[in-house]
Amino acid sequence: MNESTNASISSPADESPRQRRAWQRVVQHPQGQFGGLFFCLLAGLVYITTLVPGISVGDSVEMQWVPHTLGVLHATGYPLYTLAGWFWSHVIPTGSVAYRMNAFSAIAGAAAVGLSYMLARRITRSILGAAATALALLAAPLLWSQSVVAEVYAMHVLIVVSVLYLLARWSQDRPRSDAWLLAAAAVAGVGLAHHRTILLLAPAALFLLVGEDRAIWRRWRLWLAALALFLGLGLLPYLYILVRFDGDLARTLDVVTGASFWESFVALRPDWPELVPQVLLEQFGWIGVLTGVGGAGWLLARPGRRNLGVALAIYALTQAAFALVYSVSDVFVFLLPVVVVYALWIGAGADAFWAFTARPAVLRKPRLLVGAVLVVAALALLLTRLPGWAAQSAEVTANTEARVQHIRQVAQRLPEPDAALNIEAGIYGAFLYQQAIDGQPLPPAVQVYIPYERVYYDQALAQSATRPTYLLYSYDVTRVPARYRLSRESGAVRVSAADTITPTRRLQRLLTNDLEITGYDLIPGSLALHWQPHRPIQHDFVVYAHYFQADLTPAGQQDKVATGPAYYYPPTHWPTDEPILDLFDLPENVMYVRVGVTRDEPALDATTVIKVGSTLQAGEHTVGETLGQLIDLLGYDLVREGEVLRLVLYWQARRSVPHDYTVSVQCVDDAGQMVAQHDQQPLGGFYPTSLWQPGEVIADYYELSPSSLCRQLQVGMYLWPSMDLLRPPTGDAVFIPL
């Protein structure tokens, strides 16, 4: 460029001559290559050192072995990832196939970080701003999680950043070259062959093109060339899937169109208000989020950068809107482009800080020191995360291998040779990896049901009528219609078709006006509750079981979350025409279980207590008195410890008790005067008399003091507040001489 050309370059009017010359150098020469290479190498070092070392679960393990064998991945097929992964996994000479494919994501993620530096350098025109962007993206846990394991999202981020970089080059170069636009169209086409959410970039790209060149609409040859590149590179790789399916067009279209995911786009996610803020806070913290807010405003306020700033905002909003209506469990990964844009805003915020501190003369000298401190602080934050990241990655493979080994052992222990052991698809993929890559055969009993889709779960349950059926134990298989029975056998859950849905122990307790526990079953190691809704349940809730020993010492708990994909029968799906069987763990030495349901909105907290322990004896000392022909005082245990008298009363209800009675225990001295008294509902109100089941024995604990003056116990029951007594055959209370 000559001087006259330089003078024609537009730049913000309020910038100093020095800043203007720096801006001209940016648009004359590519900037940031060395910085981009540095951050690419730094990110590669971080991702490789914290890489998942072996096999994973879920979609990730599928993406470890399918590309290596030139198979077809789940919808939408991802043909570019498959072909590139095949080449990568066969060319790299070291490590297992799983490790190589994990490293493939690490390389893509590292390249995305390096290119983000170059993009931010062009947007912010600041080394500090570009470094802040690259460090923010590198330290983001969400990008890290997708860069250390075989997945499609690190590569998708690389393609997104590449398209944004090429558009920024076109926007800033003078004179503008169509080559940058055609390159952006070509890379976007490559993205279409990889992950079709690249289409969400279109509104932002169109705004930038028209905002920078309003006459571009009339250049139809350019549009046709760009469209040809986009569609040609974007659609051609999908022919691979058609070939692998032997020309089966219907099957190919089913995979390519992702028809199985369409039902996930029905309405706003229930967590939509907090989803995006939550993700951004987890990635960048409050300082980063506030810096990004300032950076977004800074870009929009700068005339030379406004169009790029608006385009980034449009893209972030478009991608966020997509995520907010996509009801899948891993929705966070679809916010990765939003994280990229926000990292750019953080870089712009750092640039704004840099520009602001340049204005007062007193701050000019310390600027480099402040910038260095900020960069060192960001690197220190990154270093603090490395040990935790490395441990998480190592745990992924260790847990997967342990689970696979456990399932193989369970399959070998099944007593029936024709038994079916159903395991969820996430861990089933690890078996397929071992079969395809390591040559380990799949155990004949093992078969898969797809998690989070109840139709497959119901098919597995129905299979129990014709074949011995087992489910690998986890919370998602412990709630079924009561026409099935669940039991723990051979390290798995055995499913049996039930002839009757009547519980072995009846309760008939209403927790709410609409929900009843009709009874329960005691299975070795388990408590099975029978729920019966009387009307459709409108709001999901947590179901919990808290365990207690005979003296009410806590012995653990199990809480089943209100909603989520891990449960095939959440409360809002419970039928009104049949009970639901809800299986809970039951630790040893548990006497009582407090069962309840709770939720925050609308408020609900309803509970009851069930006695599940073995039948108690009548106590060391026999009494044998009946109160009101309703409750027997069978006997008692008594221990004196100094001035404390510890008393255990053993009660037994003859039939259902309609009221909650209060027990009164009084100590009387030689003169017949009361010297101590303890009144309470049984077990301190924990297990009131209205919950007692006919025939069960309840141990009820009391302490009285001083014990040295006590010569006789006087035990009775009364109804508060009427004070109506539950009398024995003679008198108002049972007298026990000591």
What pLDDT shows up at residue 564?
54
DSSP secondary structure of 212-265: H-GGGGG-HHHHHHHHHHHHHHHHGGGHHHHHHTTT-HHHHHHHHTTGGGGGG-
Torsion from C-alpha of 722, 728, 729, 732, nearest 10 degrees? -60
Report whether 117 contacts 136 (CB < 8 A).
no
Give the distance from CA 555 to its chain's centroid. Answer: 27
Report how far residue 716's alpha carbon sits from residue 10's, in angstroms, rounded to the nearest whole number.
96
Fold of 501-612: Immunoglobulin-like (2.60.40)
DSSP secondary structure of 263-323: GG-SS--TTHHHHHHHHHHHHHHHHHHHHHHHHHHHHHH-GGGHHHHHHHHHHHHHHHHHH
Report how far residue 293's alpha carbon sits from residue 310's, in angstroms, rounded to the nearest whole number.
13
Pairing relationship of beta strands 479-481 and 484-489 according to DSSP bridges: unpaired
**Which CATH number does the domain 621-737 belong to among 3.30.1510.10, 3.40.50.970, 2.70.50.60, 2.30.110.10?**
2.70.50.60
Report how far residue 369's alpha carbon sits from residue 164's, in angstroms, rounded to the nearest whole number.
31
Report how far residue 149's alpha carbon sits from residue 396's, in angstroms, rounded to the nearest whole number.
10
**pTM of the complete model:** 0.78
Residue located via tokens 């879920």:
58
What pLDDT shows up at residue 565?
46
* CB count in 10 Å sphere of residue 363: 12
Report how far residue 116's alpha carbon sits from residue 158's, in angstroms, rounded to the nearest whole number.
9
Label residue 712 exposed, middle or buried (CB < 10 Å: 0-12, 13-18, 19+): middle
The encoded tokens of residue 247 equal 């020309």
**Residues in contact with 474: Cβ distance below 8 Å, sequence separation at least 6, in sequence order:** 424, 566
Give per-residue burial for 188-217: e unless 16+ CB within 10 Å, then b. Answer: bbbbbbbbbbbebbeebbebbbeebeeebe
Q: Is 491 left (phi over 0), alpha (psi -120 to 50) or beta?
A: left
The encoded tokens of residue 718 equal 């009364």
**Residues in contact with 373: Cβ distance below 8 Å, sequence separation at least 6, in sequence order:** none
Report whether 732 contacts 725 (CB < 8 A).
yes
Q: How many residues does the chain have?
A: 738
Give residue limits of the domains in the chain: 31-390, 501-612, 621-737
Of 700, 703, 702, residue with least CA distance to 642: 703
355 to 131, 288, 606: CA distances (angstroms): 15, 18, 59
Label residue 18 exposed, middle or buried (CB < 10 Å: 0-12, 13-18, 19+): exposed
* CB count in 10 Å sphere of residue 258: 14
Report whether 143 contacts 326 (CB < 8 A).
no
Report how far residue 231's alpha carbon sits from residue 614's, in angstroms, rounded to the nearest whole number.
72
Mean pLDDT by 10 residues, the chain (738 residues): 34 48 46 87 94 94 96 94 97 93 98 96 88 93 96 98 96 86 96 95 95 89 95 95 93 87 78 92 93 92 86 96 88 96 95 72 54 68 83 95 94 92 89 95 86 77 91 80 87 86 86 91 89 91 92 91 67 88 90 92 90 81 90 92 90 92 92 90 93 91 87 92 89 87
What pLDDT shows up at residue 258?
85
Report how far residue 239's alpha carbon sits from residue 252's, in angstroms, rounded to the nearest whole number.
9
DSSP 8-state secondary structure symbol assigned to residue 26: H
